[in-house]
Structure 1
Amino acid sequence: MNFASLDLNLLKVLDALLREGSTVRAGQRVGLSQPAVSSALGRLRHALGDPLFLREGNRLVPTDFATAIAPELAETLERMERFLSGPGFDPTTADTVFRLSGTDYFGVLLMPRLAERVSREAPGVQTILIDLVTEAYIDTIDKYGVDIALMPKVGDLPAGFHWRPFAWASFVFAARKDHPRLARAGVNPGETVPLDLFCDLSHVVMSPEGKTETLSDDVLARMGRARRTVMSMPYFAGIYLALEQSDLVALLPTKLAGHVAERHGLALYRPPIEVPPVLLAMVWKATATSNPAHRWLREVVFDELVWMNEGEPPLPRGVER
């Protein structure tokens, strides 16, 4: 037999014939007509040098050779099917290490929820959050083997990446409770801060890259105005701790501010400008999209993040093939 020239599809026909003992039923099993099965059987007889089946009435009786190879043929085809289906993923027994990247925003709002969910559903799984510099997220993904980057979706992604949005992040104005200048101006929590006061107060901004201007400054510039920024930090936690202990003020993501305000003695107000919300998304390498373990991770992370979009605009579609 010349194995190199053997059509491996014929082995599926042989397995069906061994199981069914009929060219008609074998054809139904593999999706071929009866004449096509008969033709395939002829090719198999020639290739293997054995009649394979003898007809007795309406039945096909396998030869000794066919009977001998039947168990191993069935096992081999099943093993090939499992192999070609790719590895499965059972979270209850997995000991996989997953790496996420993002700012401490996700350390506060995602990781505690993820800890409870993963410890319950996948006790052997390890989850690591890596700090992310937004402008170098591709380098971060490659350098640290990041499975999912959690980041603002700004502009088009390069080829080879997929993404799925999970929330719009709007912003509120935050300051410590009983902030003297806000109190003197008679501005109560929940009210809009006057624009002149907003611009004159000392602001702290969040920027992993150390920038002192953000989208809010672009909005002010279009109005012919500017605010006074005196500090920039790469972590939100540093910002709300600074607000708690000083007269600095900041624009914070609404969900984060609502989560930490009471604990850190902050009061929340409406900003006097329309701060454009930021679309937050999961980003990953397209090559991982069909991976069962990665698919499980994406669904779990999305489930624990999508609550952040409550009260925000509807989400657009991502690119997840």
Structure 2
Amino acid sequence: MDLNLLRTFMAVYEARSLTGAASALHVTQSAVSQAMSRLRRDVADELFYRSGREMLPTPYAQELFPVIRDALGRIENAVSAQAFDPATSSRRFRIALSELGEMHWLASIVERVSAAGSGMGVDVIQLDPAGMADTLARGVVDVAINSAVVPGRFQTWTLKHEPYVVLMAASNPLASGELDLAAYRGASHAVVTGESGHSNIERAVDALGGAREPVAVMNHFTALPPMLCATDLVATMPYSLAVRWAREWPLVMRDLPFPFDPVQVRLYTRSAHQEASSLLWFRDIVLAATEAESGFTPVPADPA
């Protein structure tokens, strides 16, 4: 069987469209359609069916996907390990990051990519923890940094262990002395939506009797410092960001008044069935950038 047919299958599976597959493969949509017609005849299955604007896989295509992905990955890793040249590449890498990830690591990642080759770029995709397994499996992003566990057999690295603390204005009545559980539960809280580590905090507090509904629910961490300074609200947040803001604003940190294990922040890499050598290069760039910023040496982690 022509391996290009299998590459086309993978591209359609990942993009969920003929147009997206054609763009990823740098061919025409007509070429993708012809390749898929040949493959359908070879395997005696439709492989994809149209649902709205998407091409969805048949049950047989879902069975084929991991087999073809792993086989192509092994082949391309073997024959193209030295094929990627960052100095001449025009590759655009795609990374899924939270707002915290952008604040902590994006500048260092982009700086290292740009230094290696002026033709390359980095596109940040909004982090969606609930859909990240599918996003990685389909190759929508190359790598993702996430504190929520992503199920699947992806290459996974632990980037750091992030403790959580309580941040509040220095003028807040709770800022003087030790913060106990009763005061924490009764405090007026500000919460950032989409912060994956906060769900763990909520579960821990619920197990201890719960807390008041948050007074303010915001979309961005950058809105927190002025909000806390202007009110008596408190925010439970990652230590690395809280300690930075405590230096820049009249804010103080307090330890959590209950046991809470640090959150593990992990890097997940998509399956490398296409452009394997460039993907591995970018993964190493991200690992080096996060280590330089956090001081924690990344270690391989078992897939979820």
Coarse TM-score class (shorter-chain normalised)? 0.5 to 0.7
Indicate yes or no: 2:207 matched with 1:229. no
Structure 1-normalised TM-score? 0.61
Residue 249 of structure 1, CA deviation: 1.0
Residue 91 of structure 1: aligned partner = 86
Q: RMSD of the alignment, in Å?
A: 3.1
Cα distance, 1:167–1:307 mapped onto 2, change above 3 Å:
farther
Cα distance, 1:244–1:115 mapped onto 2, change above 3 Å:
farther
Aligned residues: 226
Cα distance, 1:140–1:235 mapped onto 2, change above 3 Å:
farther
The whole-number CA distance in structure 2 between the counterparts of 1:135 and 1:255 is: 24
The whole-number CA distance in structure 1 between the counterparts of 2:170 and 2:102 is: 25
User: Does the Cα contact within 8 Å between 1:204 and 1:229 map onto a contact in 2?
Assistant: yes
Residue 158 of structure 1: aligned partner = 152
The whole-number CA distance in structure 2 between the counterparts of 1:308 and 1:277 is: 18
Q: How does 1:1-321 map to 2 (within 5 A)?
A: 84-85=79-80, 88-141=83-136, 145-154=140-149, 157-159=151-153, 161-179=154-172, 181-183=173-175, 186-187=176-177, 192-208=178-194, 214-288=199-273, 291-307=276-292, 310=295, 317-319=300-302
The whole-number CA distance in structure 1 between the counterparts of 2:250 and 2:262 is: 25
The whole-number CA distance in structure 2 between the counterparts of 1:287 and 1:122 is: 21
Residue 270 of structure 1, CA deviation: 1.2
SS at match of 1:274: coil
The whole-number CA distance in structure 1 between the counterparts of 2:82 and 2:183 is: 60
Residue identity (%): 23
Residue 229 of structure 1, CA deviation: 2.1
Deviation string for 1:177-229 (max 9, x for gaps)?
322x225xx32xxxx412222111111223328x9x72223222333353442
SS at match of 2:217: strand
Structure 2-normalised TM-score? 0.64
The whole-number CA distance in structure 2 between the counterparts of 1:207 and 1:144 is: 26
Residue 308 of structure 1, CA deviation: 6.1
Q: Which residues of structure 2 form unaligned runs of 5+?
A: 1-77
User: Does the Cα contact within 8 Å between 1:99 and 1:129 map onto a contact in 2?
Assistant: yes
User: Does the Cα contact within 8 Å between 1:174 and 1:267 map onto a contact in 2?
Assistant: yes
The whole-number CA distance in structure 2 between the counterparts of 1:84 and 1:299 is: 20
Point out the structure with max Rg over C-alpha: 1
The whole-number CA distance in structure 1 between the counterparts of 2:106 and 2:179 is: 33
Residue 309 of structure 1, CA deviation: 5.5
Cα distance, 1:145–1:214 mapped onto 2, change above 3 Å:
closer
Paired residue type of 2:152? P
SS at match of 1:287: coil
Residue 136 of structure 1, CA deviation: 1.5
SS at match of 1:269: strand
User: Does the Cα contact within 8 Å between 1:132 and 1:140 map onto a contact in 2?
Assistant: no
Structure possessing the higher relative contact order (Cα contacts under 8 Å, 6 or more residues apart): 2
Cα distance, 1:289–1:226 mapped onto 2, change above 3 Å:
farther
Residue 153 of structure 1, CA deviation: 4.2
